[in-house]
A = this chain, B = another copy of it.
Amino acid sequence: MGHSDFTGEFNYSIDSKNRVNIPSRYRKTMNEENVCEVVISKGFDSNHIDVYPLPKWIVLRDKITASMQLVNRVHRNFIRQFTQNASHCTLDSQGRIMLTPKLMEMAGIKTNGNAVIIGMIDFMEIWDPEELKKHEENTPLTDSDFEKLEQLPLI
Protein backbone atom coordinates (compact mmCIF):
# COMPACT_ATOMS: atom_id res chain seq x y z
CA MET A 1 0.00 0.00 0.00
CA GLY A 2 1.57 3.28 -1.13
CA HIS A 3 1.38 6.39 0.99
CA SER A 4 -1.53 8.72 0.49
CA ASP A 5 -0.54 12.29 -0.17
CA PHE A 6 -3.50 14.45 0.75
CA THR A 7 -2.35 18.05 0.64
CA GLY A 8 -3.87 21.44 0.10
CA GLU A 9 -6.96 23.33 1.11
CA PHE A 10 -10.33 23.20 -0.64
CA ASN A 11 -13.49 25.24 -0.28
CA TYR A 12 -16.79 23.44 -0.69
CA SER A 13 -20.40 24.12 0.05
CA ILE A 14 -22.62 22.15 2.38
CA ASP A 15 -25.93 21.53 0.61
CA SER A 16 -29.42 21.20 2.02
CA LYS A 17 -28.83 17.49 2.63
CA ASN A 18 -25.59 18.08 4.55
CA ARG A 19 -23.43 16.70 1.78
CA VAL A 20 -19.82 17.82 1.16
CA ASN A 21 -17.68 17.09 -1.80
CA ILE A 22 -14.40 15.22 -1.36
CA PRO A 23 -11.57 16.71 -3.47
CA SER A 24 -11.35 14.78 -6.72
CA ARG A 25 -7.62 14.26 -6.35
CA TYR A 26 -8.16 12.51 -3.03
CA ARG A 27 -10.90 10.39 -4.57
CA LYS A 28 -8.51 9.28 -7.29
CA THR A 29 -5.99 8.15 -4.70
CA MET A 30 -8.66 6.23 -2.81
CA ASN A 31 -10.02 4.70 -6.02
CA GLU A 32 -6.58 3.35 -6.86
CA GLU A 33 -6.71 1.44 -3.60
CA ASN A 34 -10.37 0.48 -4.08
CA VAL A 35 -11.53 2.56 -1.13
CA CYS A 36 -14.98 4.12 -1.35
CA GLU A 37 -15.68 4.25 2.36
CA VAL A 38 -14.42 6.67 4.99
CA VAL A 39 -14.93 7.15 8.70
CA ILE A 40 -15.75 10.63 9.92
CA SER A 41 -15.04 11.36 13.52
CA LYS A 42 -14.49 13.94 16.19
CA GLY A 43 -10.83 13.02 16.25
CA PHE A 44 -8.49 14.58 18.81
CA ASP A 45 -9.60 18.19 18.60
CA SER A 46 -13.18 19.26 19.04
CA ASN A 47 -13.37 22.07 16.56
CA HIS A 48 -13.33 20.17 13.30
CA ILE A 49 -14.18 16.82 11.72
CA ASP A 50 -11.60 14.17 10.85
CA VAL A 51 -12.07 12.01 7.76
CA TYR A 52 -10.17 8.72 7.59
CA PRO A 53 -10.16 6.48 4.52
CA LEU A 54 -11.28 3.09 5.80
CA PRO A 55 -7.84 1.37 5.75
CA LYS A 56 -6.31 4.24 7.71
CA TRP A 57 -9.15 4.09 10.23
CA ILE A 58 -8.59 0.37 10.75
CA VAL A 59 -4.88 0.88 11.43
CA LEU A 60 -5.66 3.66 13.87
CA ARG A 61 -8.38 1.67 15.59
CA ASP A 62 -6.15 -1.37 16.00
CA LYS A 63 -3.26 0.69 17.33
CA ILE A 64 -5.54 2.23 19.89
CA THR A 65 -7.20 -0.95 21.05
CA ALA A 66 -3.83 -2.68 21.25
CA SER A 67 -2.33 -0.08 23.55
CA MET A 68 -5.34 0.82 25.68
CA GLN A 69 -6.32 -0.83 28.90
CA LEU A 70 -9.96 -0.99 29.87
CA VAL A 71 -9.16 -0.83 33.58
CA ASN A 72 -7.64 2.62 32.99
CA ARG A 73 -10.26 5.35 33.26
CA VAL A 74 -8.37 7.80 31.02
CA HIS A 75 -8.05 5.11 28.38
CA ARG A 76 -11.75 4.35 28.56
CA ASN A 77 -12.61 8.01 28.21
CA PHE A 78 -10.30 8.32 25.26
CA ILE A 79 -11.78 5.34 23.45
CA ARG A 80 -15.26 6.61 24.13
CA GLN A 81 -14.55 10.06 22.74
CA PHE A 82 -12.76 8.54 19.79
CA THR A 83 -15.46 6.13 18.70
CA GLN A 84 -18.66 7.64 20.03
CA ASN A 85 -18.91 10.13 17.21
CA ALA A 86 -17.26 8.07 14.52
CA SER A 87 -19.49 7.04 11.66
CA HIS A 88 -18.94 5.18 8.43
CA CYS A 89 -19.81 6.96 5.17
CA THR A 90 -19.88 5.75 1.60
CA LEU A 91 -19.02 8.22 -1.14
CA ASP A 92 -21.99 8.75 -3.47
CA SER A 93 -21.57 8.58 -7.24
CA GLN A 94 -20.74 12.29 -7.25
CA GLY A 95 -17.97 11.79 -4.70
CA ARG A 96 -19.72 13.35 -1.71
CA ILE A 97 -20.26 12.22 1.86
CA MET A 98 -23.11 13.11 4.20
CA LEU A 99 -22.15 14.62 7.54
CA THR A 100 -23.99 13.83 10.76
CA PRO A 101 -25.81 16.61 12.60
CA LYS A 102 -23.84 15.91 15.77
CA LEU A 103 -20.42 16.27 14.14
CA MET A 104 -21.60 19.34 12.26
CA GLU A 105 -22.72 21.01 15.46
CA MET A 106 -19.47 20.11 17.17
CA ALA A 107 -17.48 21.68 14.32
CA GLY A 108 -19.76 24.69 13.81
CA ILE A 109 -20.60 23.61 10.27
CA LYS A 110 -24.00 24.70 9.02
CA THR A 111 -26.49 23.31 6.50
CA ASN A 112 -26.26 25.36 3.28
CA GLY A 113 -23.03 26.86 4.57
CA ASN A 114 -19.42 26.30 3.57
CA ALA A 115 -16.61 24.04 4.64
CA VAL A 116 -12.85 23.86 4.15
CA ILE A 117 -11.17 20.52 3.59
CA ILE A 118 -7.50 20.28 4.56
CA GLY A 119 -5.22 17.46 3.53
CA MET A 120 -3.24 15.86 6.37
CA ILE A 121 -1.17 13.44 4.25
CA ASP A 122 -3.10 10.27 5.05
CA PHE A 123 -6.39 11.69 6.31
CA MET A 124 -8.40 14.89 5.98
CA GLU A 125 -9.97 17.53 8.16
CA ILE A 126 -13.22 19.40 7.57
CA TRP A 127 -13.43 22.86 9.10
CA ASP A 128 -15.96 25.61 9.34
CA PRO A 129 -14.23 28.58 7.64
CA GLU A 130 -14.70 30.85 10.66
CA GLU A 131 -13.42 28.25 13.12
CA LEU A 132 -10.37 27.70 10.93
CA LYS A 133 -9.62 31.40 10.77
CA LYS A 134 -9.98 31.65 14.54
CA HIS A 135 -7.67 28.68 15.00
CA GLU A 136 -5.04 30.12 12.69
CA GLU A 137 -5.11 33.44 14.53
CA ASN A 138 -4.91 31.85 17.97
CA THR A 139 -2.26 29.23 17.39
CA PRO A 140 0.33 30.35 14.87
CA LEU A 141 3.55 28.40 14.84
CA THR A 142 6.10 30.46 16.72
CA ASP A 143 9.82 30.80 16.16
CA SER A 144 10.36 28.59 19.17
CA ASP A 145 8.22 25.89 17.59
CA PHE A 146 10.45 26.03 14.54
CA GLU A 147 13.54 25.92 16.75
CA LYS A 148 12.28 22.73 18.30
CA LEU A 149 11.69 21.33 14.85
CA GLU A 150 15.21 22.26 13.81
CA GLN A 151 16.45 19.89 16.48
CA LEU A 152 14.79 16.99 14.74
CA PRO A 153 16.92 15.31 12.08
CA LEU A 154 14.60 16.65 9.47
CA ILE A 155 15.60 19.04 6.83
For residues 95 through 128 of chain A, which have their beta carbon under 8 Å from a beta carbon of chain B?
A: 100, 102, 118-122, 125
Residues of B within 8 Å of A141, CB to CB, are 77-78, 81
Q: Interface centre among A58, A62, A154, by most B CB within 10 Å?
A: A154
A149 touches B83 (CB 8 A): no
For residues 123 through 150 of chain A, which have their beta carbon under 8 Å from a beta carbon of chain B?
A: 125, 139, 141, 145-146, 149
Q: Please classify how large the interface on chain A is, using the bins under 10, 10 to 19, 20 to 34, 35 or more.
A: 35 or more
- Tell me whether A7 is interfacial, beta carbon within 8 Å: yes
Q: Which of B25, B67, B78, B80 contacts A88 (CB 8 A)?
A: B25
State in angstroms the CA–CA spacing of A74 and B45 once bound together.
12
- Tell me whether A79 is interfacial, beta carbon within 8 Å: yes
